[in-house]
Structure 1
Amino acid sequence: MNEVKRFDGFGIVDEEGCFVRHKDYAALQKQNESNEALLYAMRQDMRESRKKMGAMLGENVALKQAIDTHKHGFVRCECCGEENMCHNDDVCRVLGETPATDTIANELRAEGIHYLSSEAGEMAQKFKQGSSDWRRWKSIVFFAETVETQLRAGNVEGGE
């Protein structure tokens, strides 16, 4: 909306059908343009934040996987030389104390599953309803939606 529209020489009609002054409309339009610029900047910041969060999530998931691998190993005591299992040391204890990482990881997995479900739904529409191909694609949709719901609820350990 770069130009001010005129209405019968009196001004512009607003949502309620009342006349407004040209200078009021121009000021509102200028404010809207300013808001659009601010919204664009906020979207850019959000994209950058998501990239950083994705990188951090990747690191957290990798650390959790390394700790999980460590949990199944043995460590030699520095004092006596005895080998002990690692499953109860402080490093392994952190595996159950990362709910934010688990939630974000599950949300990203759920987004991927949602995409799969949408694509499978589109494929199902290409076949006659009730046909064997249609039923195959719909079963993928239903299964994917179930897994997506479980991931969002935190009821699935997502491939760690």
Structure 2
Amino acid sequence: MTLDIAIDADGEWDSSTGWAELARSAATAAIAESAFPQLGQGERPVELSIRLAGDAEVHSLNAEWRGKDKPTNVLSFPMAEADDLQESDVPGPELMLGDIILAHGVCEREAADKAIPLDHHAAHLMVHGTLHLLGYDHMDDQGAADMEAREIRALARMGISDPYAEDR
């Protein structure tokens, strides 16, 4: 798997945290818990990008692409089609899954509200975003339950507790 990670130049994201390794672990765990665990394992490599940005950048993207005039914790921009994901074990050019972008301030506030480390919350959002790139959504109860279960299993692979446990 090719993972492009970009970290906001303004230094909001703590440079002492191993964000690149966390992003790789999160994407790998999400793929393993998806319906496409073979992605990147065969003759067709996959690529995705994760950008750790500030709230202003995510606010702008959220307004432009979703019509919501506020920052959000994570945005996903899928590029692969369902047929491409189904045929990911067929040799071919690198399959671009898409882009994920996290907003530092929103993530930091949410982590503080949940009393969890920022890196654990960011990992959850990276897993969540990767699942969106793989075609999962939470628009209805069934989709939300499936996506949540996959997130919990993916985070467990990383040694991170169930982020929904206190909500139950």
The two structures have a TM-score, normalised by structure 2, of 0.25
| Higher fraction of strand | 2
Structure 1 or 2, whichever has the larger Rg, is 1
Q: Does 1 or 2 have the higher relative contact order (CA < 8 Å, sep 6+)?
A: 2
